[in-house]
């Protein structure tokens, strides 16, 4: 396209994108929509959300097709993006000050409730930190790369110029930092989008996994009689039947355990039994380095960076939960 204006592709397509798009007549199988989905992906098109437009079908005239007028709905309420902790924030000097200030707030309630309230209170200051220092992190890294290239090109022309040597050194250090932050940011963001948008069947979900889904789609299978089946419902039933035969079915009743047989095996003594019911300790509380953000937007990156401040309280909250098994509503 020769401009940056929004545009739309419309037409009377012979296929549908999703199984539930066709109303009435024969049901759609996955085999019918694979090629159309691949075409949409190849053209880098995105299906317009139904709630984002209104369609007005006009009289067809001499044609057997009705012209349609698409109007975008401008009144859609734009929700504020959900808070997601970014690990690169921990590299800023003000990060620990924000955590320390937020964690020292006086909150009444159980240990888990106090932690939740403190984490929520810190979000505002962390958003400000991101806005002031990390909003344009990708653009800044690109600009630093260009600036470093220019400085190195000038230095090649005048290699003995001490001023150019110092300039190139400064540009190198600056780009090294911004490129590292950029890489960390993009690496984390890819995983966050996969979870947040992917689970909601949004644009990112379709853009990232559609090609894998096409590769792994089962459009035909032979049943136990050797008959080739293409209907998706029949294929699903064939798989269920196969694994039920392989793994067996769940019994409705429960057989009584024979105590005599159990006594013939290894039995824990009293000391070993008491060990199994001992209370959890602080040493058993650890952080999974690959833990994804929870509903509050904080991931393991925050806990690792701020553990010297938040660690004792978080550990106590975990032990409290392990002791009574109660979570806040």
Q: What is the pLDDT of residues 243-257, one digit of tens each?
A: 888 887 766 666 777
Mean pLDDT of the chain: 77
| Number of residues that make up the chain | 329
H-helix segments, the chain:
30-42, 95-103, 111-133, 137-157, 162-196, 203-216, 232-247, 259-263, 270-276, 300-305, 307-324
- Rounded to two decimals, the pTM is 0.49
Q: What is the pLDDT of residues 96-144, one digit of tens each?
A: 999 999 998 888 888 888 888 999 989 989 999 888 888 777 788 888 8
CA 87 to chain centre: 15
For the chain, the domains span 19-72, 79-134+280-329, 136-217
Q: What is the pLDDT of residues 125-135, one digit of tens each?
A: 999 988 888 87
Contact partners, residue 81, CB within 8 Å, separation at least 6: none
Q: What is the pLDDT of residues 276-288, one digit of tens each?
A: 888 777 777 777 6
Q: What is the pLDDT of residue 54?
A: 78
Percent of the chain with pLDDT over 90: 5
Integer Cα distance of 258 and 260 in angstroms: 5
Buried b (16+ CB within 10 A) or exposed e, 37-55: beebeeeeeeeeeeeeeee
């Amino acid at each position: 396209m020769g401009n940056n204006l929004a545009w739309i592709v419309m037409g009377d397509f012979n296929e549908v994108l999703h199984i539930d798009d066709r109303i009435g007549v024969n049901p759609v199988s996955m085999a019918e929509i694979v090629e159309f989905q691949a075409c949409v992906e190849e053209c880098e098109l995105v299906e317009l959300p139904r709630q984002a437009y209104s369609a007005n079908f006009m009289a067809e005239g001499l044609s057997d097709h009705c012209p349609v007028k698409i109007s975008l709905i401008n009144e859609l309420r734009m929700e504020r993006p959900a808070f997601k902790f970014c690990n690169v924030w921990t590299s800023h000097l003000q990060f620990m000050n924000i955590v320390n200030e937020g964690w020292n707030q006086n909150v009444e309630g159980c240990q888990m409730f106090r932690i939740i309230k403190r984490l929520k209170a810190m979000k505002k200051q962390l958003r400000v930190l991101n806005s002031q220092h990390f909003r344009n992190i990708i653009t800044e890294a690109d600009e630093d790369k260009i600036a470093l290239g220019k400085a190195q090109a000038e230095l090649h022309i005048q290699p003995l110029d001490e001023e150019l040597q110092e300039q190139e050194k400064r540009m190198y250090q600056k780009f090294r930092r911004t490129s590292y932050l950029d890489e960390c940011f993009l690496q984390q963001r890819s995983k966050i989008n996969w979870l947040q948008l992917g689970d909601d069947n949004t644009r990112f979900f379709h853009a990232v996994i559609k090609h894998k889904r096409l590769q792994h789609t089962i459009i035909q299978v032979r049943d136990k009689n050797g008959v080739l089946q293409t209907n998706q419902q029949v294929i699903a039933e064939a798989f269920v039947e196969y694994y039920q035969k392989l793994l067996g079915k769940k019994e409705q009743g429960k057989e009584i355990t024979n105590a005599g047989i159990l006594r013939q095996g290894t039995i824990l003594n009293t000391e070993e039994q008491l060990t199994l019911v001992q209370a959890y300790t602080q040493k058993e509380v650890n952080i999974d380095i690959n833990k994804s953000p929870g509903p509050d937007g904080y991931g393991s990156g925050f806990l690792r960076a701020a553990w010297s401040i938040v660690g004792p309280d978080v550990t106590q909250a975990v032990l409290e939960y392990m002791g009574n098994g109660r979570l806040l509503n």
